[in-house]
Structure formats: structure tokens, C-alpha cells
Amino acid sequence: MNSSTSSKLDFLISALHHGAFMSTMEVLEWMKKQNEETISNIQQIPISELKGWLYKDDRICHQTGKFFSIDGIRIHTNYHQVPSWDQPIINQPEIGFLGFIVKKFNGILHFLVQAKIEPGNLNVVQLSPTLQATRSNYTRVHKGASPNYLEYFTGEKKVQILVDQLQSEQGARFLHKRNRNIIVAVEENEEIPLKNGFIWITLRQIKELLRYPNVVNMDTRTVISCIQFGDYSTQTLELLSAFQSVNETTSSKPNNFIYSVLSHDNHLNEIQDIIKWITSLKFKYELKVDKIGISEMSHWIYDKNTIYHEEHKYFDVIGVNVKIGNREVVSWDQPMVRSAQKGIMGFIVKKINGIYHFLVQAKLEAGNFDIVEMAPTVQCLTGNYRKGANEYTIPYLEDVLNAPKDKIWYATYQSEEGGRFFKEQNLNIIVEVGDEFPLQVEENYCWMTLNQLLSFVTYNNYLNIAARSLISAISFY
């Protein structure tokens, strides 16, 4: 067995096993204790009063020229019914680290996770990767401490790299933003000092914690969505299914759901046909993004306090003063994006040829690198899915919102990334449809197995962060 196949099997085993150190409920209690022990105070202040930030050249930027800026952009496109609009956007060209250290305990792969506070977190403390740092942070532009465990990701320590990918961030709010999603393994006999605020848990436990709202942060979700579990024969999958049944690890979903994850057989569409589908849409749609000044944006107002839409839709940009006790820098100011209301991101799944398929959307967003990315069946920016307030019709929205309870596989509110987004959460939902739902779908949609979806995660800029967030929550037990 080669190292790639071995690591995929190790990930699969970790996704099926409980941890060696504490139960999932004990992890929740530990997080509660971390919350009680960490001092934090986040206050909204006017953007014009942000220390270290300037309104310069009709944009908001840090005095060092690092970190990020808030820019105005003007979009022209032939996608959907709105051909042009203006909006603020986060311009953060740096590629940061989102990384896990993994290590085997009793033969089972465990992930080193951190209880981390971000200024925009809803639950204050959320489970983050071992390392979560922008280039400005880990090069210490802020003159603070170096991030914990950085040396395992910079080549200073000997590790085996199991996952290493550049993945896109929220295309509607970030301009061409990507992060390095990386998982590194250390030898089973290597001692790693366990620093305050860190614990070892299995992949199964992370997925169990994703059943709770706003516990696992977006950065953890995007990294674990990059994990490959391998391809297996029908006989092997039948054996695994029997093993689950004997050990009472099978979930309420039908056993053959795991086939969608691990089998490359019986799919409706061949990978080459899916590539032709997404390529044709990238060719069809145009996306022209021009940088403009904040004062030049139509329908947006900057009053030195916030940047907001004249109809108070979508989102606004606010200023915050942050004081957090367990960070490299304990106090700072920064702009943040605050949503107008909650959003929704959901996959429709249907059994086709005996295997569950996911209905994938090709979605254009202003900050995308490559025009369209694969997205969930439904992904509504906040404010867009209120009845009577839509700029355009959203296909399949009613199928998701009105799904019978017994057809909902997963439904939990999850936070957006708390370092840039202020207390934003979206309903993450996966619903099953039956034979009444047509195989024939609209041009921007395509049926894919989870195995096929995961194959696209290995490439840059194919699956957007909303799709990856939902994929991360899918469990195999």
C-alpha cells in the first residue's frame, strides 16, 4: 500500500472512531471551560476611529499596507438578471495558513485542534485548526508573539504532508482570496508539547461536533473538506457496511450512503462530462470586476461610522475594537463585515443508480478567481431569499426550505469565518428528495456523487467554501 492510499485509509478510520482522550461531550465541556477562562471584549466603534487604519485613496487600509483593505468594486456580468452592481469587498491578497497537525494514538489518527476566539465568533470560543494565520500574522507585522506550532508548517520540523491545497474563500465578500489548507503528520513516537487551549480529537469527533451550532469554525471545516478517503470495491464497501451494522455505528441514513463517499462506480455523469459542463459555463459567463473608490459606489454610503447599502440590504462594514486574552496580540482595531441577516446553504441529494448524488450548482460570485465555482444546490446571500425581496428567482429554494423533517439529513447553523465576518451564521442543510424530483435539471446544475465532488476538491478553485462547509459535516456512521 503506497503512502497516499495509506493516509486515505487512516483518515477513514479516524472518521469512524471515537477519540483516545475525551468523549465528544467532554470536548463540549472543555470548550465551555475555555470560554469561562478567556477574557474577551469586542465593541463596535466608528470606522474613522479605528487605530492603525486609514481612509486613504478612497479605500480603508492598514497603516502598514499589510493585513487587508476594504475596497469598492463595480461588477459587470451576464450571469442571472442583474448585469451590474457596486459593492464593498475585502481585498486580502495574502495567502494564509489553515493547518492541522495529526498524529496516531493507539493506531488512530487524531487532530490537534485549538479553542480559539475570533472577534466575530458567535460562541466566542470555537474549534479551529492547529494553525490559523495570515501571512501578516505569522511574519509578525503586528509585533506580537509567533503563532503556536508554526514551525511544523514552515519546514523547520520534519513532517509528512498529507494534504496541501490552495482553496478559495467567500467569493461574495473576498476579492480573489485563497488560503493554504494543509494537514501534516508527525511520527507516532514524536512528543509534541500540548499547549494551553489545544486538544487531540479524531475526525469522527470533529464531525460529531458539527451537529452543534457554531462550535466548529469555518477554517476547520474547509481543511477537513479537503480530505480524501479513497476508492473501494463493492465487496469492501459491503464489508464496511456490515462492520458498521454489527458495531451499531450506522446512522439513520441508509447504509449505502457510504457508497457515495467511497465508490467511483454507478454515477450518473462521468468526470469528463462534468468537466465539460463546468468549462462550458466558465466560457458562457462573463465577469468583469473594476476597482472603484468607496465614495464612487452606487447605492452605498460611507458616513465615517459604517459603510452600508442605502436600503440596508446584504451587509455593512463596521469598525470594532477587540480585546482577547489568548491571542498573539491582545488588543487591536479592525473593520469587519456584518450581514443583514442569516443565510442558507443547502444540498439536495437523490438516490440515482443506487447511489446518492448531490445536486451541484455552478455559481458566479464577484470575488471568484475563475468566474464560476461549484456550490451547493441553494446558496443565498443574506437578504436575498426573503419572500418578495429577491433580485432573481432562486431555483430549488422551496425544495430545501419546505423539506419534510424525515428527509432532512443535516440542518445546523454554522458561523462564517470570525476574523472578518461579525457574528454571521448560515443554515447548513442537506435534504433528500425522491423519485418525484426530476433527473433533468437546469443548465447551471449537475448531479454528482460525493466521491466525484471530493475528487474536485483536490484542484484549486473548483468547489466554493459553502460546498466545502457542507461536505465537511457529512459523517460515515
Q: Are 465 and 168 in contact, with CB atoms under 8 Å apart?
A: yes
Residue for cell digits 507516532?
A: 188
Domain residue ranges of the chain, discontinuous segments joined by + = 234-286+340-472
What's residue 250's pLDDT? 47
Q: Are 409 and 349 in contact, with CB atoms under 8 Å apart?
A: yes
Q: Are 336 and 420 in contact, with CB atoms under 8 Å apart?
A: yes
Q: What is the DSSP letter of 475?
A: -
Which H or E run contains 27? helix 24-37
Task: From residue 1, give the alpha-carbon distance in Å to each of 15, 104, 162, 183, 297.
Answer: 20, 18, 15, 20, 57
Strands 53-56 and 59-62 turn out to be antiparallel
Phi-psi sector, 320: left (phi>0), alpha (psi -120 to 50), beta = beta
Q: What angle do CA 101, 104, 105 make, to 5 degrees?
A: 120
Q: Where are the beta strands (DSSP E) in 134-224?
A: 160-168, 178-185, 198-201
Per-residue buried b or exposed e for 219-233, using 16+ beta carbons within 10 Å of the residue's own CB: bbbbbbbbbbbbebe
Phi, psi of 6 (to 5 degrees): -65, -45
Q: What distance in Å separates the CA atoms of residue 383 and residue 309, rounded to the nearest whole number?
A: 12
Which pTM does this prediction carry?
A: 0.92
Residue 249, C-beta contacts closer than 8 angstroms, at least 6 positions apart = 16, 243, 477
**CB neighbourhood size of 410 (10 A):** 17
Q: What distance in Å separates the CA atoms of residue 371 and residue 229, rounded to the nearest whole number?
A: 29
What's residue 2's pLDDT? 58
What's residue 143's pLDDT? 54
Q: What is the DSSP string of 402-469?
A: T--GGGEEEEEEEE--TTTBSS-EEEEEEEEE-TTS-S---TTEEEEEHHHHHHHHTSTTSB-HHHHH
C-alpha cell at position 393: 428567482
Residue among 332, 473, 288, 277 at smallest CA distance from 45? 332
**CB neighbourhood size of 469 (10 A):** 23
Coil vs helix vs strand at 152: helix
Task: From residue 265, give the alpha-carbon distance in Å to each of 95, 271, 357, 441, 464.
Answer: 36, 11, 12, 22, 25
Q: What distance in Å separates the CA atoms of residue 458 and residue 456, rounded to the nearest whole number?
A: 5
Q: What distance in Å separates the CA atoms of residue 48 and residue 110, rounded to the nearest whole number?
A: 45
What's residue 254's pLDDT? 44
What's residue 464's pLDDT? 95
Phi-psi sector, 106: left (phi>0), alpha (psi -120 to 50), beta = left
Q: Tens digit of pLDDT per residue, the chain (477 long)?
A: 556 778 999 999 999 899 999 999 999 999 999 888 888 889 999 999 999 999 999 999 999 998 899 999 999 999 988 899 999 999 998 888 999 999 999 999 999 999 998 999 988 899 999 999 877 665 655 556 788 999 999 989 999 999 999 999 999 999 999 999 999 999 999 999 999 999 999 999 999 999 999 999 999 999 999 999 887 777 776 776 666 665 554 444 545 567 788 877 789 999 999 999 999 999 999 999 999 999 999 999 999 999 999 999 899 999 999 988 755 567 899 999 999 888 999 999 999 988 899 999 999 999 998 999 999 999 986 555 555 555 567 899 999 999 999 999 999 999 999 999 999 999 999 999 999 999 999 999 999 999 999 999 888 889 999 999 999 998 876
Residue 16, C-beta contacts closer than 8 angstroms, at least 6 positions apart = 204, 244, 249, 476, 477
- Among 3.40.50.2300, 3.50.50.60, 2.60.40.10, 3.90.79.40, what is the CATH number of 234-286+340-472? 3.90.79.40
